[in-house]
Each structure stands twice: as C-alpha cells, then as structure tokens.
C-alpha cells in the first residue's frame, strides 16, 4: 500500500534531499553547468517568492515553454510550492498553439526560453486578466527575466498547505484529431510513479545518474529527468538541444549516466549512425524505452552493440508514466512486459468483457497515478476514465506467461478478409530484413477491400524494386500468418512522427500523403 500524508505538496521531493544531507551533491548536470540540491532548492524558493509577488496565487496556472535546462525544474517546482499549477508544454509548436494553451488553461504567467520568445510573446494578449511573461536563458525587451528574479527574494519558502488530492500540474495530451486535452494530475501522482516504476523496475538509488533523450515536457521525460532522480537522491543530465544521434552519443560519453531513457525511433537511429560503436557507453547499467513498441531486432542489436539491456514498457500522459514493463528478471523482447507493481491491467473485448489469454482486445489499466480528469472535457473524461480504470485505447494481447504484447492503437488495427492484422507485427518483421531500416503499415482500400500497405525506409546501398517488394512479401509470409503481409509497398525516405517519435499512421492512410521522395513500387 503506497500512502502519502493527507496534506502533501509535491515540491518536497527536493526538500528530502536536503534533509538527507545531500545539499552539496550535484542534482543537475547541463553542459558545463552543475547545480547542487542546495542551489536547486534556493532557486525554487526564490522563484516561488517572485511568482507570489507577481500575483500568482494558489491554483493559478503557469504555462512552461522550456527546454531541458535547470530553469525547468526551478519553474516547475516553484509553481507547485506556492500551490500554483505548472503546465509544461511542447516547445516545438507554433504561436497559435501557445495562445490556445493560455486561453484554455486561464494561465496567469508564461515562463519560456528566449529561443521561443517569438512564438509565445503574443500568447498573453487579449485575455481578461493579466498574464506575466517571464523569459530565461536570454533577454528580450518588455519581458521579465527569471535570472533577475532569482537575484532577490528569500532562500526559504514553506510549501503551500496543499492536499494530496489537489491539482499539482497539468500535461496536455494530444491525439490524432481535435485540440490537445489538459490532463490534470494531483499532488500525490509523482510520488506514486516513484514508488512503483522507479523502485521496482529501475531500482534507482542515490548512486545513479539519469539521462533522458525524451524531453521534460513529456510525461515520460518528466519522470526520467526530474521525478525519479530527485526522489532517489540521484543526479540527472539535461540536454537542451535536439536529441539527434550524435548529440545524444556525445552527451552519454561525456556525462556517463547509469540509466538511459529513449524511444524506439532514437535507439534505431543511434544504431544506424555511422561510428556509433566508437562511443563509450559502458557507464549505462540499464536502458528504458517507451512511446511505441520496441522492435525485437532493435533490442538485440543494441544489446550486441553496447552491451546494455533495454526494458521496453508502455505508459501514457493520463497514467503519468510506465505501467507495463519488462524487468531484468522477466523480459521478452518485443513485448511490453507485465504490470508494474502497484498497477493492474486487463484486456477487454468490444462488449467490455475480459478476453482469454492469447486473444486481442482493448487495454485498460488501474493505478493511483491516473489523471483526475481532462480540463473542460467532460465527455472525453467519461469515455476514458471508467471508475478506477483508465481506458488506454491500445489493442493488446496477453500470452500464457502474463506478458502483454502491443498490437497497435485500436484505430490502427487492420481487418483483412475478416481477420485482424496488427501493423506492429508486420513492421517488426519487415524491420528484421537486412535491407530495411524501418517500416510502417496501414490499411488502405483497394477495389472495395482492405489491404495492407507498407511504407519502407531502406538502408544505404539498397534500392526499391519489384524484386525487393516480392522478397519483403515472402519474408513476412514465412514469418507471420499467410495473410499478414503487405499487399502494397512504398519505399520512402522518412515517416511522419509525433515529437515523441511515434509514427503517425493516420497520416499514412490519407490519400496522396506525400510521405517520402523515392519512387513508389507497387
């Protein structure tokens, strides 16, 4: 039973390191900058005072458009400490999106990196109440500067008297259609993910150093780069730039983390990066993957190349972090593992009844890190949160050993000749072919029937041809059921993705999607 006091403020996750005597320990490595737990606490408290002086009050929202630098945890926990509600958002969006976030959340302040100033400066305009704009890591006329605000104020600030079930922070969850949804998380949610995944899967301790290629504004990155290391008294590495293979490899070699978090797309890109084997990644004791199913071939190649094991799992913005995962004691490459201690999962058919092992259905999950509701979206809340259970919307099956296998989003499943086909199985099998870097599969109409179409990225030195199409089709027929093969193949140079690396299959289903530039082969 995981419990927290009734009156609890999530910012005390930093305080507990001071109480444990870690004030002088480095909490954050970011380029050449090192920030101790004592200094981080001082910055949080001073910025908390500054927010209060600017008129930010309990439950006021504070929008964060921040790169992965020490300013992120400073602003995030300063807002929580005074009872306000930070909302980290994607830094790769455009001005209209930030304007929507401010309007939808009724944000009282926006904290942004100078890099994003042009996109966010108009977001506070036209609202009923004042919205403060605070910049960091640079200066611009007419904006408050976070670093200036840290030069004054008191070093001590008692946390607001918040209840464990008060709002702590929001994360906007985006889908394939409609506006992003404000996913409301409570004060106790971070602690729950630490006591479950961090404790039982990562087995993180104060001797660890984490590095997450996935950014802090994602639920996945927030846990990897802030929640887990601070909870354990470990250190974390932050990299503000784009997580490109060379930059990630250089960061890993320079800072020597023991825990590395990424997504399948980046693991695959690193493996395919010329000269990757020359980097020293021997400090890593464990890797984790989420966002999309990790192909078994990528798992094996990473293990052979760098010697470390990747533990694949599935989480969500709504559940805050990973709730199904492989562990070092129990793993099957290609699976999402088993429920993390503290969580329960079940697979339901279209009528809402549990299916037998081996049968596919809709995944539902239960655990106390679940979001309370979607802000201003009652109908979606009712459809997703069903009592204690969160309807994940993913299509899964469980094998006889209790391992869960991802089949795809429910709306990505393909019905061919009355039989369900998993795009993930086809993609993973194509990815094992020596000519293929990556593949994506979708269903398309052909003469009134549904057929499987695969978009394939080839390794250098391979060219798309009718012969290769036939070879790939036979490759799938030999390894899967006879009807699980691509009827149509396009050779492309890239695939549409979300910022977390997930393939946007709905875009591939669009007629004349314009994906790739190589000649089509059918």
Query: Helix or strand or coil: residue 189?
Result: helix
- Average of per-residue pLDDT across 357-370: 95
**Containing H/E element for 425?**
helix 423-431
| CA 219 – CA 204 distance, rounded (Å) | 18
Query: Helix or strand or coil: residue 319?
Result: coil
| CA 403 – CA 40 distance, rounded (Å) | 40
CATH number of 1-186: 3.40.50.980
Query: Can you say how many angstroms the Cα of residue 241 is from the centroid of all Cα atoms in its chain?
Result: 16
H helix runs in 189-244, sequence order: 189-193, 219-222, 228-232
Is residue 152 very low, low, confident or very high in pLDDT (cuts 50, 70, 90)?
confident
Domains 1-186 and 188-407 share a fold: yes
- Average of per-residue pLDDT across 108-117: 97
* Beta-ladder partners of 112: 65, 135
The reported pLDDT for the residue numbered 59 is 97
| CA 406 – CA 415 distance, rounded (Å) | 16
188-407 folds as Rossmann fold (3.40.50)
The better pLDDT of the pair 520, 106 is held by 106
The reported pLDDT for the residue numbered 516 is 42
pLDDT in tens, 228-244: 999 999 999 999 999 99
Closest CA to 56 of 133, 158, 4, 147: 133
**CA distance between the termini of the chain:** 56
H helix runs in 172-244, sequence order: 189-193, 219-222, 228-232
Q: What percent of the chain has pLDDT over 90?
A: 80
Closest CA to 77 of 139, 16, 129: 16
| CA 91 – CA 299 distance, rounded (Å) | 29
Residue with tokens 């009827």: 487
Alpha carbon separation from 136 to 36, 41, 93, 282 (Å, rounded): 19, 18, 18, 35
The reported pLDDT for the residue numbered 175 is 56
Domain segments of the chain as ranges: 1-186, 188-407, 413-508
Alpha carbon separation from 173 to 183, 217, 507 (Å, rounded): 6, 11, 18
Query: Can you say how many angstroms the Cα of residue 421 is from the centroid of all Cα atoms in its chain?
Result: 26
Instruction: Please report the DSSP string for 109-166 in residue order.
Output: EEEEEGGGHHHHTTTTTT-SS--EEEEESS--TTSEEHHHHTTSS-S--PPP--BTTS
| CA 262 – CA 288 distance, rounded (Å) | 6
Antiparallel, parallel or unpaired: β 286-289 and 449-458: unpaired
- Average of per-residue pLDDT across 154-173: 97
Q: What percent of the chain has pLDDT over 70?
A: 96
Is residue 512 very low, low, confident or very high in pLDDT (cuts 50, 70, 90)?
low
Nearby residues of 281 by Cβ (< 8 Å), 6 or more positions away: 249, 252, 253, 260, 306, 307, 308
Structure tokens given for 122:
């108009």
- Residue 520 reports pLDDT greater than 50: no
Nearby residues of 32 by Cβ (< 8 Å), 6 or more positions away: none
- Average of per-residue pLDDT across 330-347: 97
H helix runs in 20-127, sequence order: 37-53, 71-81, 95-105, 117-120
Structure tokens given for 302:
């990473």
Cβ atoms 456, 489 nearer than 8 A? yes
Task: Tell the CATH superfamily of the 413-508 domain.
Answer: ANL, C-terminal domain (3.30.300.30)
How many residues can be counted in the chain?
522
- Cβ count within 10 A of residue 423: 26
| CA 484 – CA 456 distance, rounded (Å) | 16
- The model's pTM is 0.87
Query: Helix or strand or coil: residue 483?
Result: coil
The reported pLDDT for the residue numbered 481 is 82
The reported pLDDT for the residue numbered 171 is 98
- Average of per-residue pLDDT across 435-451: 87
- Cβ count within 10 A of residue 350: 9
Cβ atoms 389, 368 nearer than 8 A? no
């Amino acid at each position: 039973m995981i419990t927290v006091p009734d009156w609890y403020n999530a910012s005390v996750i930093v305080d507990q390191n001071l109480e444990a005597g870690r004030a002088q320990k480095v909490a954050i490595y970011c380029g050449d900058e090192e920030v101790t737990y004592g200094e981080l606490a001082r910055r949080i408290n001073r910025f908390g005072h500054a927010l209060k002086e600017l008129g930010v009050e309990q439950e006021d929202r504070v929008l964060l458009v921040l790169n992965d630098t020490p300013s992120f945890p400073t602003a995030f926990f300063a807002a929580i400490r005074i009872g306000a509600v930070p909302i980290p958002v994607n830094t790769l969006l455009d001005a209209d999106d930030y304007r929507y976030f401010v309007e939808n959340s009724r944000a009282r302040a926006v904290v942004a990196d100078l890099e994003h100033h042009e996109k966010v400066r108009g977001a506070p305009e036209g609202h009923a109440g004042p919205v403060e704009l605070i910049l960091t890591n640079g200066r611009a006329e007419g904006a408050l500067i976070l670093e200036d605000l840290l030069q004054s104020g008191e070093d001590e600030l008692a946390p607001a008297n918040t209840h464990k079930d008060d709002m702590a922070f929001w994360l906007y969850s985006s889908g394939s259609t409609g506006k992003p949804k404000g996913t409301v998380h409570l004060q106790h949610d971070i602690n729950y993910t630490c006591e479950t995944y961090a404790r039982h899967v990562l087995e993180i301790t104060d001797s660890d150093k984490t590095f997450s290629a996935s950014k802090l504004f994602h639920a996945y990155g927030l846990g990897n780069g802030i929640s887990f290391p601070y909870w354990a008294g470990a250190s974390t590495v932050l990299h503000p730039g784009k997580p490109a293979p060379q930059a990630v490899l250089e960061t890993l070699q320079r800072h020597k983390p023991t825990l590395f978090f990424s997504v399948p797309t980046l693991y695959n890109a690193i493996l395919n990066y010329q000269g990757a084997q020359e980097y020293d990644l021997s400090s890593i004791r464990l890797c984790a993957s989420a966002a999309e199913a990790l192909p078994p071939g990528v798992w094996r190649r990473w293990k052979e190349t760098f010697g470390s094991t990747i533990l694949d799992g599935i989480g969500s913005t709504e559940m805050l972090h990973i709730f199904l995962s492989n562990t070092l004691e129990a793993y099957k490459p290609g699976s999402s593992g088993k429920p993390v201690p503290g969580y329960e999962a079940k697979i339901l058919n279209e009528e809402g009844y549990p299916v037998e092992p081996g049968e596919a259905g809709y995944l539902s999950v239960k655990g106390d890190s679940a979001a309370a509701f979607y802000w201003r979206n009652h109908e979606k809340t009712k459809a997703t949160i069903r009592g204690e259970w969160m309807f994940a919307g993913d299509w899964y099956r469980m094998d006889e050993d209790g391992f869960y296998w991802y089949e795809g989003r429910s709306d990505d499943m393909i019905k061919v000749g009355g039989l369900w086909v998993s795009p993930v199985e086809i993609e993973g099998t194509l990815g094992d072919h020596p000519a293929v870097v990556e593949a994506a599969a979708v269903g398309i109409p052909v003469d009134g029937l549904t057929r499987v179409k695969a978009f394939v990225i080839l390794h250098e030195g391979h060219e798309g041809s009718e012969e290769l199409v036939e070879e790939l089709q036979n490759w799938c027929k030999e390894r899967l059921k006879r009807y699980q093969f691509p009827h149509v193949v396009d050779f492309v140079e890239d695939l549409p993705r979300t910022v977390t690396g997930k393939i946007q299959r709905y875009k591939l289903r669009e007629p004349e999607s314009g994906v790739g530039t190589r000649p089509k082969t059918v």
